[in-house]
Structure 1
């Protein structure tokens, strides 16, 4: 490589101001010595090194560093490992972060040591090219440069970003061989790697083997439970941490609030909210945004709005969370008003905002408004519709019965239809009993190899509603042949910090006898008020009495009965269900809210239902 000129580094032409500034830095460097460094006496050489390192660390701008680099090449000081490492670190890492140039410097180092490799691997671990970090690690080993816990941690971070289980297993084996398992930072990074590869049990094993578990390690464990669908276990960690005097931090609170949102556990979410206020985290913007999402996903719009209103700096994430929360809780008009207010405040919407707006139109059947916002998104804000926006429009058209229009929209989409789009159309076909189009939607799902048990259940529902029992038998036979097992309906209810789970005809709850007695009593009271079981919700070819019996003990009815049994009169009953609530359970909850003077909030797979005084927030449109 041709040596750089001390006064003419390989950069684009500099303006006069920069040139003058560079000259002063070059002068400082030139004043350090006038002969090659290795001809100096050791004390003088050491003093020169100290001054050069200090100069490199204090230089604020990249052009100045390039000027120093040129001088180091001319004077052979780049051979000094400490000086070359200092320069490499300054250019490879933030705030300068020039990986291309750093690689050139690295290539000029005759025998890079572990510090040089560490700097480069670290730089790649926070870049868009983490694979190169792994390649550098392998090169380091080939050159017989021994690894250490720090380098192992950085290369593991590279693999987290890829993610690469095979590479991670190699690193883990070498970590065990080299005896680094006592390094808590390294082991925590290995947990992150296994979590990113969805090897959650392996991440937990690493955690169990750690001798020293800090808050970061606990946070990674919480994240693994949450990503593994074990949010309930994640919540339990909060009390375990505090009992071990390992205080949760702001990241812990963020993860726990996300878990609360997934489960709909309002009481626990309120506990975390109180804790973060105690710890002084209430001004954290990310935490406040997460609080808004948590409260809306627990069906508590009042508290979500309190947090929202208290925020002084509402960004697009804040507004989008509030708009989406209003939409999913059945307040479509309020969501659109919030969108208008957002525009007045000068906050530009993004694609997530429009997903919330279009969802609001869909949930409330606002066809004209939905079409208007769909066009506005493209024309005024230049946001190309993504699969979620198309999904909202298909859902909206399907709900109001424009199934052919919905099918045409799918056919003309600019993005390839995915399983969710066809599943959304299938849901509209179920609502309106459009069997032929529903069968076509299933065919598309089969082509994508994405059909699920729930899709066949919707098809069964259409056939059973139409009284086509031959087709019902045919589909059930097909499901049996393919080994398709339906997901059982599961409803959960939080009470006094505990999470109670129910499935249809459940007999596992310790208070099962009391619950069934209460449900029978509720049934008697509701029949007096006019409740009649909606037997079309039962998809087996049975006589009406048998169908009614089957519908009696659905999971959300058991959860509601437990709520009436276990809470004082007038207390709101909150239930979360993993599937879409059926028509019969919907009618049951409506009448119960009036007869027992209770607000009942059910969060099913697609939205919230707020039952009050015999009415539902969805206006029977879901």
Structure 2
């Protein structure tokens, strides 16, 4: 506990505490004592306190703003600190706002101010503000400062103006590694690997980051992972970032065996190494390996981060492993691992796809912050589970709260209406989409509308939608209409749909099986045999069926015709009993 009894020793005591390792509770205590003792109103001390808070960011940028707002006369140092906090925390607009406030209050920036502001400009789309800052930099004579010049190069390159960045780079003799790396990164972001390589070859010296930029460019940007590996093997000295970058390149290209081999040969690993591989397995259809690797990471004492947590949750989603997903949710809460909007949204998606609507709703209702993705996942999840009216309620709640919407929001709510047969509601939302919300319908939205009308038997209206839509119909639209024709026994439109699918080259075995079933349902056996003969001569084969189920936390996969499961005899015995029960009830 800090005491405010000794007014002589207090300033020195508090300043010495600010130099030690800091936590939010300790900073709050120092802040409170400084206010009660009036020490906080000394601009010098207030600036030191704000700087101490900045060292904890991005833990509490909002608290940093509170401290800043209480400073009676902020100086350049204080403004630089608050701008730097927001620039590094991914709040570029806030950083620009405080720079504008600084100028409005008649306080000029220095050679530390402009790099922070330019970093914020580099995070924004477009560089209009960056050009204005560049003009002020020249007027104030900071254009020859190395740090400011590097900030300008990086700002232009990150906004796609690599030509302007190169002009600054070429016109400046005193370059350092940051100058070279910023320019190379600019070319990599633009996809000009040839120019990036040329500049890399010209560098008088290189650090591991220089190599990593190029490795990342070849591996992730252009997908030339072999070229990236050659560079990696040539590196005179590799750090952990380089290893992770190379593994990330392999996972981005779906080469998981090579990624795993490199991972196993790493001299050391951090949570990023594990996360890249876990997420890679989840994204490339190997959820079991993703979960196994996640467990290995825990056993080796590495605390998960957001990426590895989302990767493991995604793996549970893909496998339908509800028990493992619930355990993971409990673990993340118990260990107080970063539980932000991304992780919570992934949990909602997992619960929805596993059919646990109550748990998904609990997570959704407990969230302090929701992104548009969160709302979309909730709407889609409710719709796919047959709760279309609840999905509509969430949509209308978005309206009331004026939450941002995108085209996926409307696709989700239209699909929800489709799954629940809410035709009039779906038609109304489709009409409002453009007229009220200003979102232009895409082919996917027309597809949802066709599906909505088709499932409820309004086939002619569905056909008219396809005919009047402003873009070329896709195979998905004709396939949706064909499926509706199967349900509502409409041979004429079914034949038209197959004809259009054939023109698009999408007439696979499933299409002809569906048409054959339609003919069979109408007793048109000559056409049934004709279709089967056509499939045989065309070498078409039905896809093998497969399914998976989780039992006591273990996922079992079944493939049609496979007899390798250890309990196959028992499974077939149960199937026989079920079949007998069905027959006896008829």
- Which TM bucket (shorter chain)? 0.7 to 0.9
Decide whether the 8 Å contact of 2:150 with 2:178 is kept in 1: no
Unaligned runs of 5+ in 2: 1-99, 121-129
SS of 1:165's equivalent?
Answer: coil
CA distance in 1, matches of 2:139, 2:211: 32
Tell me which residue corresponds to 1:615.
none
> Displacement, 1:260?
2.0
The answer on whether the counterparts of 1:91 and 1:98 sit within 8 Å (CA) in structure 2 is no
Q: Kindly report which structure 2 residues correspond to 1:262-273, keeping only aligned pairs within 5 A, or say none.
A: 262-273=318-329
Match of 2:462 among 388, 400, 406: 406
Q: Residue 502 of structure 1 aligns to a residue in which SS?
A: strand
The two structures have a TM-score, normalised by structure 2, of 0.72
Q: Deviations over 1:120-165 (max 9, x none)?
A: 233565xxx4314x3442222453646543112223334466x312
The answer as to 2:219 corresponding to 1:156 is no
The structure with more helix, counted as a fraction of residues: 2
C-alpha change, 1:351 and 1:115, in structure 2 (3 Å) is closer
Structure 1's 147 and 169: CA in aligned 2 closer, same or farther, altered over 3 A? farther
Alpha carbons of 1:137 and 1:346: their partners in 2 closer, same or farther (altered >3 Å)?
closer
Distance of aligned partners of 1:147 and 1:487 in 2 relative to their CA distance in 1, 3 Å threshold: farther
CA–CA separation in structure 2 for the residues paired with 1:151 and 1:404: 61
Q: What is the count of residue pairs matched by the alignment?
A: 474
User: Does structure 1 residue 439 correspond to structure 2 residue 495?
Assistant: yes
Query: Which structure exhibits the higher relative contact order, with contacts defined as CA atoms closer than 8 Å and separated by 6 or more residues?
Result: 1
Indicate yes or no: 2:300 matched with 1:244.
Answer: yes
* Residue 166 of structure 2, aligned match among 103, 110, 117: 103
| TM-superposed deviation, 1:480 | 4.3
Per-residue CA distance 1:34-74 (angstroms, 9 max, x = gap) = xxxxxxxxxxxxxxxxxx7x686678896676555577799
Deviations 1:228-274 (A, max 9, x none): 22223222222121222233222111122222222222111112111
Matches within 5 A, 1:76-475: 78=144, 84=146, 86-93=147-154, 100=161, 101-110=164-173, 114-123=177-186, 129-132=189-192, 134-143=193-202, 145=204, 147-159=206-218, 163-166=221-224, 168-180=225-237, 182-281=238-337, 283-475=339-531
C-alpha distance 499-58 of structure 1, shift in aligned 2 (>3 A): closer
Aligned counterparts of 1:21 and 1:378: Cα–Cα separation in 2: 45
State the secondary structure of the residue aligned to 2:191.
helix
Do the aligned partners of 1:377 and 1:383 also contact (CA within 8 Å) in 2? yes
Contact 2:418 2:451 in 1 (8 A): yes
Q: Structure 1 length as normaliser, TM-score? A: 0.68
What is the CA RMSD across the aligned residues, in angstroms? Answer: 3.3
Q: Using a 3 Å threshold, how does the CA distance of structure 1 residues 116 and 347 change in structure 2: closer, same or farther?
A: closer
CA distance in structure 2 between the partners assigned to 1:399 and 1:488 by the alignment: 26
Number of the residue aligned with 2:11: none
CA 1:443/1:90 → structure 2, altered by over 3 Å: closer, same or farther?
same
Task: Report the Cα distance in structure 2 between the residues aligned to 1:499 and 1:154, rounded to whole angstroms.
Answer: 40
Contact 2:184 2:200 in 1 (8 A): no
- Distance in 1 between residues matched to 2:508 and 2:287, nearest whole Å: 23
Secondary structure at 1:500 match in 2: strand
- Distance in 1, matches of 2:173 and 2:436, equals 57
8 Å Cα contact 1:194-1:203 kept in structure 2: yes
Once the two structures are TM-superposed, the CA of residue 213 in structure 1 deviates from its matched residue by: 3.0
Moved more, 490-499 or 196-205: 196-205
**Distance in 1 between residues matched to 2:116 and 2:327, nearest whole Å:** 46
CA distance 1:147–1:472, change in 2 (3 Å): farther
In the TM superposition, residue 348 of structure 1 has moved relative to its aligned partner by: 4.2
1:271-294 CA distance string (max 9 Å, x none): 211121022247411111221111
| Contact persistence 1:131–1:159 (CA under 8 A) | no
Long gaps (5+) in structure 1: 1-14, 29-51, 533-622
Residues 1:458 and 1:236: Cα distance change in structure 2 (over 3 Å): farther
Provide the residue aligned with 1:559 in structure 2. Answer: none
Task: Return closer, same or farther for 1:339/1:114 CA change in 2, 3 Å cut-off.
Answer: closer
